[in-house]
Each structure stands twice: as structure tokens, then as C-alpha cells.
Structure 1
Amino acid sequence: MSGTPAILRNHMKEKLARGEVVASMTVRLARSIEIAQIALTAGFDTLYVDLEHNTLSIDMCCQICIAAQSIGITPLVRVPANTPDHIGRVLDGGAMGVITPHVRSAAEARAVVDLVKFPPLGQRSAGGVLSHYQYRSFPAEATNAAMNEATSVVVMLETVAALESVEAIIAVDGVDMLLVGSNDLCAEMGITGQFDHPGLKDAFARAIAAARAVGKHVGVGGLAARDDLMTQFVQMGARYVSTGTDLSFLLTACAQRARFVKEIAV
């Protein structure tokens, strides 16, 4: 089969391009594809499977990604390390983008782009036909260009070194978004858990200004328990919000129902 491949649309990138705010949920607990449909029904735009902070296998992760693809939820994966054995495999397996931890410099960001993007933008290795175009066969020059356009590169901003180089990092060709990891960044800044500290607000302000200067975006991470701060940073210009994990959502709802019953007894 020849021609231009009908690559799945990256709805997250489309919303960001329109200046809309993207709602994301994090998958840490779920081990099956139902979580993708739950995310859709709940109203999320995207989900990311967090391989950095749980024991999910790549196989489980990619099954969830393919399920999300098929219903219009953009599947991302936060990899445990920025290496080919993680990034290449989850992208070939169904992810439509990666979230890469602990990127500290423009050089490290460029190395990530090399692993994510096909030539000429990067050095990603060809992995054969993919679920992103329903396993159909197209000329490589067509699929490479289409996949480069459809695949998101999100780098974590969670170190002081990254903050000091934020303008250079977000300017790297191929990087789409900075996701501020508020927990780790605060720890690095010596203000662990102090999310109201002006240093965190200043970090968001600098990141947002840097992203705006090059037409890119900033995401809010690590503040799921702080609706007020998520609101504040979106009003400042952030356009992606990591709202929390499937585990925290389940635990919160379970605790509410258990408390309801105990209060009846009282």
C-alpha cells in the first residue's frame, strides 16, 4: 500500500496549538486497558503511563497506549530513563509521546529528540509497521514525517540545573513542552513540600516566559492536591495539567464513601 499514511491524530498537540488547556491523568495502578475508556468517560484529553514510579511492564503499558489511541485519548509514557531501550520500545509499542525525567540541559534535551524523532529531525530507528497507522505499510519517508509530527516530546523540569537552562532547553527543535515536576524541583531548591514558596511561582513564571518566546508550552505536575496552585499557574499561562493518579482518585473516592458510612453510624 502506498501514499500518505493516515496517522492517528495527536489531540493533545492540537489542543495546545489552539491555546486550550489539556487535562491529563496519570496511570500507576491500572494494569488493563479499561483505564483508557475510564479516562475518556471522565473527560480527560490525555493520559500518561508512569513507568518511572511503578512496576508496570512495557507490555502492559503499550496495551493501554493502543487502547487509548483507538478512542482519541493521547497516550504518553513517562519513561524511567532517557535511553533507547525505554523510549524506542514504548513509542514502537503505541505511545504517542514520551515524558522524559531529569533533563538538565539543552544537550540532554537534544539527545531525547534524537531518540524520539525519525531522520532528519532525529535518529530514531525504524521499527516496522506500527499501531499508529493501523499496521499498514507505507513508504518510510511518508511515515517518518507523519510520525515526527504526531509524536510529542515532553521534558521534565525538575532540577535547578534545568531551571537555569530553561530558555535553551525549550528552544531545542523537537521539544514540545516542559512539564514542571513541582515535588522534585522544590526538593532541589531546598524548599521541600513548600509549594506556596515564591521560588516555585518564580520557576513557573520563568518557564512560561521561555516557552511563550518560542511558541511552546508548559505543564503543571506534582500539584494534584492543590487546586488553587494549579489554577494560578494555568492563569499564568501553563496549558497542561497533570491532575493526579488513578491510585489517588480511587483512594480518595473510597475514603469518602467509608467516611460517609461511619458518619451515619455516629
Structure 2
Amino acid sequence: MTVRLVRGVEIASVAKTAGVDSIYVDLEHCTFSLDTTSQICMACLAVGIAPFVRVPSMDPSLIARILDGGALGIIVPHVESRAEAAAVVQAAKYPGQGKRSFSSALPHLRFNSVSAPVAMQAINAATTVVAMIESAKGVERADEIAGVDGIDILHVGANDLSNDLGVPGQTDHPLVREAYRRIWEACRGYRKHLGIGGLAAKPDFADELVRMGARYMTTGSDLGFLLGAATDRVAQLRSAYPVA
């Protein structure tokens, strides 16, 4: 579930009750502070929901602060090359896999004092790195991006991708479908996972992709769920009790 509206830690329990596996705080498209993001991430850790954060840029200092704040994964938009994917991994992983600076007393470890080698190995293993493919260039280089050690998921942003391919809003257009096929082939070749998003209005196409092999799906946003449920309920009431 994408989170870009609810700023309180209650969203973690809502996600748990709803049955989702993970949330991601969408810092690319919302105005949450790092503190708010960290509080939500820590609340998710406490109830057993994996907290991810979609970062607004590839800034390594920002990525490190987000992960230190409790995130178990980062989602990086607009990745278009092997070099960019490798730089993201370097920022997200501790030595052994990357160059992230180590900080003791992490919320992931409930602030327990753990030796640096043990903590770094455990956090590296637990941290998911998601590269978003949202452009024709990214599709062309999907194979080299998938080949970067430390990248776990290639997540397709269908809306931005359709825009870049010249078919805005047509998220199941043949050009988009072909892009998904190429990205899936890259994932399969390197034993990485395919992620899909922006297809809430195209459930049949989403189902095709899951059957093809996609294993990470963005189900919708907190705003979308709230607005959708409220709109349906009001329509139901107006139908049942029409105003004379």
C-alpha cells in the first residue's frame, strides 16, 4: 500500500488489519518529513509490516537517513542505467556490498547494542532495493540494471512509462505490454523479481502480469482507498434515500 496522505503511525496498524505485506511512504509525491517517515517505519516494524520508502532522488545521504530511520527498503524512481543502479546499491548497503555509513542503535534491532559486523550483515540481508523502470531508456537497459548485484526488484511505473512511450494513460497499450515483457525477461535472467504499479484500473492486465511472474504489486494508496470507500458509501446512501 502506498502511503502519501496519513501522517500518523495508525497507518501501520491499518495496513496490518487490511492484510498487506508492506507499505511504502511515497516521498517522491508527498510532503512528509523525514521524522514522520521514520515514525511510520518504526510503527510498521512493531506490527510486522515491511516499511519501504520511495525516495525522491538518488542522493546517498538521503537514502542513508531514511534507512537509518527504520525503512527496510528503498524504491528508487527513474533508474535508467547500470551505473545508477550500482550507485543506489552502494548507498543502501553497508561495506561488503556497499558504502553506507554504519550507525549503532538502529530501530530495526530495537536499539539493542549489536556488534558492527553482525548488524551490518543482518541489515544488508534484510534491506530490499527496488529500481523503478519508468522510461524507454530504462526498458532498453533493463537487462544491465537487473544484472547489478544488490538490486532485488525491477518495479515498473506504468503511468510514467506510458507517458515516456508517447501513450499517456494507456497503461495496457501494446508498447507498454512489450516493455513489461522485456523487463520480465531481464528479471528472469538474473533471478530478480518483477514489480507492477499503477494498474489499479486495469485488473485484468495486472492479473496477466502476476500469472507471468510478477511478485511485487502496488495495490493502491491510502488516499485512493479512503476516497473510493467514501464515494461508494455516499452513492449507496443517496440511492437508498433520494432527496425529494
Which of residues 10, 18, 42 in structure 2 aligns to 1:66?
Answer: 42
Partners of 1:185 and 1:176 in 2: CA distance: 20
Kindly report the root-mean-square deviation, in angstroms, between the aligned alpha carbons of the 2 structures: 0.9
Give the structure 2 partner of residue 225 of structure 1.
201
Is there any run of 5+ residues in structure 1 with no aligned partner, and where?
Answer: 1-24
Q: Corresponding residue for 2:173?
A: 197
Offset from partner CA, 1:80-126 (integer Å, 9 cap, x none) = 11112321111000000100011110000000000000002100011
Cα deviation, 1:149-173, whole Å, max 9, x if unaligned, reads 0000001000111100000001100
Structure 1 counterpart of 2:186, from 210, 213, 227: 210
* 1:157-200 deviation per Cα after TM superposition (whole angstroms, max 9, x unaligned): 00111100000001100000011000000100001111231111
Q: C-alpha offsets along residues 22-72 of structure 1, whole Å, 9 cap, x if unaligned?
A: xxx000111011111111111100000000001111111110101111111
Matches within 5 A, 1:1-266: 25-266=1-242
Residue 259 of structure 1 aligns with an amino acid whose one-letter code is A
Q: TM-score, normalised by structure 1?
A: 0.89
Higher relative contact order (CA 8 A, sep 6+): 1
What number of residue pairs does the alignment pair up?
242
Of all paired residues, the percent bearing the same amino acid is 48
Say whether the 8 Å CA contact 2:4–2:26 is kept in structure 1.
Answer: yes
* AA in 2 matched with 1:162: G
> TM-score, normalising length from structure 2?
0.97
Q: What amino acid is the match of 1:164?
A: E
SS in 1 for 2:25: strand
